[in-house]
A and B are shown apart, each in its own frame.
Chain A
């Protein structure tokens, strides 16, 4: 057995599926969602950390009663996290799952052929 024993058992059906336009579309839809979304939420989170560090006076500004900008900013991180998670769930149900199911069905059919 070689170090690449798994690679040696490579099933050509994966090459066929990889070359289909459906797979290219699935990968495009997945990456074009998650990469910008990841950059966006990390930037938004780091903005929060940076403001906490270097904009203390702004963060301490009172808005209502004892509730200040820092608290609202922190709670907004919760809101955006819940919102993005919900949006991704909806996006993947509508745009990713149907294509993934179809390709998986092709795989099952190809495996039995």
Chain B
């Protein structure tokens, strides 16, 4: 059986399994709490798996191993930043957010501030971050499928993007949070097993000697020992070194501001379960990122440079699937075909689970924050109407993501995800941290930090070499790049914090300060927090 047929069968199995789960979950989704938070009835372990499934995206599985395979050690920064970032979520955000909110990131701000301005700001920021992240995943899905089918056809890529978009709308509209969560749990299990299998096969080639693996990677890369040390990708000039620092900041501070991650903390009964779920997630995600090290250096050691290195005509995003083929016996062998198809299906499941989480987060925010909290603020909205609006919003956001993904295919996946992290760290994290730790914080501070972080992060990217001025830019023939860095984090994150501070101290809002007493007691003790829903 050839790879194409096998791959197609495995892809269709992944689709059939997840569609089945979604129909099953839809029968248990009745109320708004079910739709938004799965009835808050998942255990810490289940939610830990689902967080892993929501977080380990195509950028992690395909992007990091590809970056390590091409640039060596510099690619490892992503793994470390993505993991250490979880300490911010664990120590400062997860438990307090669980106690203070109900369904969305905006809830904990609206708890003590003026509903309309903060819900509008938080909702806009949620949708922008989610769409950047969605683009990365869908572009990844397009190139993955096209290259696996062995045809570099634009039509196939476009059809894949539309297909992924339709599936993600289906998961969210039909299955709500419950369906999305189970899809993520299944994906996390598949991803861990699939990666572990390849890691063991790679290590076996080197008699489980990590040093030998690194030695071969360095030799095969053609760059020698420099391949194993930092600096190949970012060490060439002061500008690129500052870019590296900027990326490092965005990675470590972005996670705790990602809306699709934040809403996962609402799916468990108590703050203690939220803590447990982050602990499970840290274990799972840490183990996975350790495996990316072996996958990346394994690809560098075992694949030809023209397979992975873009400078030699390869595709770095396919390092993991091609590595699977190589350790299975190589091109043309049955073992190689099976493993390639298997890992490609795992990557596909990975993409589906992440896009579902993103669509759910952004549509929930549109319905709960914009529709119920702002547009219909002065008239009662039934739960049924609110969920109906959420479903319509999922449909519209899905359609927008499909429409934007098709022209965005020239952009690099890892860049889009790093940008989503930078926007999340600049716009969302300052407001979340100030709100929990600073009594004086108020509506003006919250809106200034959200809009300031959002506009500066997105604006600086538009003025960066990513958009214009270089052969690799989106518009290579023009040059309006006045900002030298690819990643805006080093400017926009401090700016988000600074604007939050200035906005706060230049206005007075005694109600917000008074209400902080209740927020603080509730956040730290769980007194009065939303409980689990039982049927």
Contacts and interface: CB of A to CB of B under 8 A. Distances in A.
Interface stretch (B279-287, B309-317, B491-499): B279-287
B77 A49 contact: yes
A68 to B, nearest CB: 6
A70 B73 contact: yes
B30 interface: no
A27 B524 CA distance: 7
A7 B515 contact: yes
Interface in B191-242: 209-212, 214-215, 218, 225-226, 228-231, 234-235, 241
B226 to A, nearest CB: 7
A9 to B, nearest CB: 10
B241 A92 contact: no
Interface in B246-300: 248, 252, 271-272, 275, 278-279, 282-283, 286, 289-290
B282 A100 contact: no
B518 interface: yes
B244 interface: yes
B229 A11 contact: no
Given A3-B116, A103-B527, A53 B245 contact: yes
Contacts of B532: none
Nearest to B247: A49
A23 B521 contact: yes
B54 interface: no
A1 B271 CA distance: 31
A100 B524 contact: yes
Contacts of B437: 31
Interface in A75-90: 75, 77-78, 81-82, 84-86, 88-89
Interface in A19-37: 23, 26-27, 30-31, 33-34, 37
A101 B110 CA distance: 26
A81 B86 contact: yes
B128 interface: no
Given A7-B112, A100-B525, A66 B87 contact: no
Given A4-B114, A67-B214, A107 B527 contact: yes
B210 A67 contact: yes
Nearest to B230: A52
B485 to A, nearest CB: 14
B244 A14 contact: no
B286 A17 contact: no
Contacts of B77: 49, 52
B228 A38 contact: no
A60 B455 CA distance: 39
Interface residues of A, number: 62
Interface string B370-403: 0000000110000000000000000000000000
B88 interface: yes
Contacts of B91: 33-34, 37-38, 88
A104 B241 CA distance: 49
A49 B212 CA distance: 26
B211 A59 contact: no
B283 A38 contact: no
Contact of A45 (B80, B279, B511): B80
B521 A17 contact: yes
Nearest to B229: A60
Contact of A60 (B226, B241, B271, B272): B226
A62 B214 CA distance: 12
Contact of B214 (A26, A34, A52, A66): A66
B218 to A, nearest CB: 7
A105 B314 CA distance: 62
Contacts of A92: 275
A12 B230 CA distance: 57
B479 interface: no
B111 A74 contact: no
A31 B526 CA distance: 17
Contacts of B231: 52-53, 56
B215 A84 contact: no
A17 B441 CA distance: 21
Contacts of A26: 524-525
A34 B146 CA distance: 47
Contacts of B79: 74
Interface string B315-329: 000000000000000
B282 A81 contact: yes
B84 interface: yes
B517 A14 contact: yes
A70 B92 CA distance: 29
Contacts of A82: 282-283, 286
Nearest to A99: B525
B275 A14 contact: no
A33 B95 CA distance: 15
A85 B290 CA distance: 17
B244 A49 contact: yes
A108 B226 CA distance: 62
B528 interface: yes
26 contacts: A6-B515, A7-B511, A10-B518, A45-B80, A50-B245, A52-B77, A54-B241, A56-B229, A60-B229, A67-B210, A70-B229, A70-B230, A71-B73, A75-B290, A77-B83, A78-B80, A78-B286, A78-B290, A81-B286, A82-B282, A85-B86, A99-B525, A100-B524, A103-B525, A104-B526, A104-B527
The 4 A-B residue pairs with the shortest CB-CB distance, nearest first, are A65-B211, A107-B527, A60-B229, A52-B230
Interface of A: 1, 3-7, 10-11, 14-15, 17-18, 23, 26-27, 30-31, 33-34, 37-38, 41-42, 45-46, 48-50, 52-54, 56, 59-60, 62, 64-68, 70-71, 74-75, 77-78, 81-82, 84-86, 88-89, 92, 97, 99-100, 103-104, 106-108
Given A14-B527, A71-B228, A74-B79, 6 more contacts: A6-B115, A34-B91, A45-B84, A70-B229, A89-B279, A99-B525
